Amino acid sequence: MTSGEERWTQATLALACFALDPAASGGIWLRARSGPVRDRFTDGLTQALSGQKIRRLHPAIGDDALFGGVDLSATLAQSRVVKTAGLLGEPAVLILPMAERAKPGLAARLAAALDGPVPLSLVALDEGAEPGEALPGALADRLALHLDLDDLPLGEAPEISLSPDDLAEARQLLPQVTLPDSAIEEMAEVAHKLGVRSLRAPLQALAVARASAALYGENEVDQPDLITAVELVLAPRATQIPAAPEEEPEAPPDPDPPENGDSEPDDTDTETPPIPAEILLEAARAMLPPDLLERLAASRATRMAHTSAGSGARRKGNRRGRPMPSRPGHPGGEARVDLVASLRAAAPWQPIRREATGQPDRLHIRTSDLRLRQFEERSDRAIIFLVDASGSAALSRLAEAKGAVELLLAEAYARRDHVALIAFRGAEAEILLPPTRSLVQTKRRLGGLPGGGGTPLASGLKAALDLAELARGKGMTPSIALLTDGRANIALDGSADRVRAAEDATQIARAIRGRGISGLVIDMGNRATPNLADLAREMAVSYLALPRADAHMLSRAVDDALEPVS
């Protein structure tokens, strides 16, 4: 059986376990891009949940739709307040497409609803194509089943066919399924050894184990059901590879065997079966990818980079961008009134106002009822490449730095980012290119970048800071990508003083941190320079040491760190 077929089989089994009692497992986190493979899974989901309410959400859904609000048309027609029932007020299976775009506010509301008394469950369809795009942690922790069907070929994903009669029979049997006394302790031990810190995960695994037993017509959870739960719930959340059990030393032979052929019972001949927790850990090891540690390290580096760099800053406005909930306010300037939201806010007060004014046939709107439209947009981003062109860098890594910057400029151009180029060498820094989108001009300036002389790092940082402030004044969000070997020897006043040069660079780095400018420091020296790590901490940005990286490796590192988040 191929790896793709195994993933699809696991997904089908997870779907069947989820369909028996959706609320007990919390839901499914399905990471897969929109396509025929995901469509086949969702078709199987609809088939398995036949007879249950399914509600689709939108990442920008408002509180009125979630919790209920005023039905404006019915209120105006009946002259009394008519409220609508929210989607979270009745048992249902909620489907959230584009879950990676769910904002923290929506994630918090859905998480609270999943913890509430109404039996709800959530199927989060995560379409995130980039490493930084993922379901909010508050929701991921409450969904027992984490499935990854990304890049799964359609030929290895046959149509899902689940018998409604078999599911109905297993659903009736589920309340009668019992757990062994040691199951909770064993599952908690396995979760601990896999590095799963969530306290919900072992309980969710036990719920899946009970569902697995019911699917096979069993009244009690046994070892295969616990293995299924570990594979479906705990293994996808593992943050460490569990250590293999230590082999017990063999007992030395008895020097004085019994005479006359009499033999005492030899306990060592009877092989003691391994404890269930070790069997579960072996099942989990088989499910873990061989490059788990590398993936986790890359994921942590990406999250750190997104925290320090990220995309353009969010800005609230009233003209364009992603719609946000309307806010109370007074119209003026370019502010636009949200008519529907204003009428909805005024509707509950109509009986009181009509009675107070003696005008029952009029719609009474007050200034306090007005709601103004809000939109959220991201500003353009300006990536400032600060390249060390001094003698020490030119002799070793300037060629690689040029190649990396050229590759990065092409990527930035494709994303329509503004790019700027500053080189520092000799006694001062030089702005070779202000923020621009002209790829041809940028490559021409980069190709003519000379090398040699001292390393005025402080001057380069000051030039980058000034350019970042200029870009911010034009409504952009600046990020600084510093590529250097870190051997600063020219102070800010142009004097050749290593101690003074380091102090000046530290002061400018603190100023960059104080301005809240994001960025990245790449140590491109043949050996890692501790001073650069300290400089990155002073700037409050990420630090990467790439001593033997070529142009492509350098460009990938910077691109991952400065990748915009949608």
Q: Do 484 and 391 meet the contact criterion of CB atoms below 8 Å apart?
A: no
Widest Cα–Cα separation across the chain: 117
For residue 454, the model assigns a pLDDT of 80
The pLDDT, as a whole number, for residue 412 is 63
At 73, give phi and psi (nearest 5°). Answer: -65, -45
Adjacent-strand bridge partners of 431:
422
CB contact at 8 A, 382 and 435: yes
Q: What is the reported pLDDT for 123? A: 92
pLDDT for 27 equals 92
Class of residue 172 by CB neighbours under 10 A (exposed 0-12, middle 13-18, buried 19+): exposed
Q: Report d(CA 85, CA 70) in Å as an integer.
A: 9
The backbone torsions φ and ψ at residue 350, rounded to the nearest 5 degrees and listed phi first, read -65, -45
> DSSP letters of 141-170?
TT-SEEEE-TT--GGG-PPP---HHHHHHH
CATH class for domain 381-561?
A: alpha beta
State the Cα–Cα distance between residues 414 and 416, nearest whole angstrom.
5
Amino acid sitting at position 330: H
Same fold? 3-237, 381-561:
yes
pLDDT digit string (tens) for the chain, length 566 residues: 446 788 888 889 999 999 998 999 899 999 888 889 899 999 999 988 888 889 998 887 878 788 887 777 777 677 777 777 788 888 999 999 988 888 888 889 999 999 989 999 999 998 875 545 678 888 889 999 988 888 888 888 888 888 888 898 999 999 999 888 888 888 888 888 888 888 888 999 899 999 999 988 888 888 888 888 888 888 888 877 665 555 555 555 555 555 554 545 444 444 444 445 555 555 555 555 544 444 444 444 434 334 333 444 454 544 555 666 777 877 766 677 887 888 888 888 888 888 888 887 788 888 888 888 776 655 677 888 888 877 655 555 566 666 766 776 666 666 667 878 888 888 888 887 788 776 676 667 666 666 667 888 889 999 999 999 988 888 788 888 888 877 788 888 888 888 888 889 899 999 999 988 888 888 877 777 788 888 888 988 888 877 666 666 666 666 666 554 43
Q: Give the start-to-end residue ranges of the domains of the chain.
A: 3-237, 317-378, 381-561
What is the CATH topology of the domain spanning 3-237? Rossmann fold (3.40.50)
Using DSSP's 3-state secondary structure scheme, residue 232 falls into helix
Please, are residues 173 and 20 in contact by the beta-carbon 8 Å criterion? no
Report d(CA 461, CA 490) in Å as an integer. 12
Distances (CA, A) of 266 to 153, 250, 424: 55, 13, 79
pLDDT, position 292:
43
What's residue 434's pLDDT?
82
Determine the pLDDT at residue 129. Answer: 55
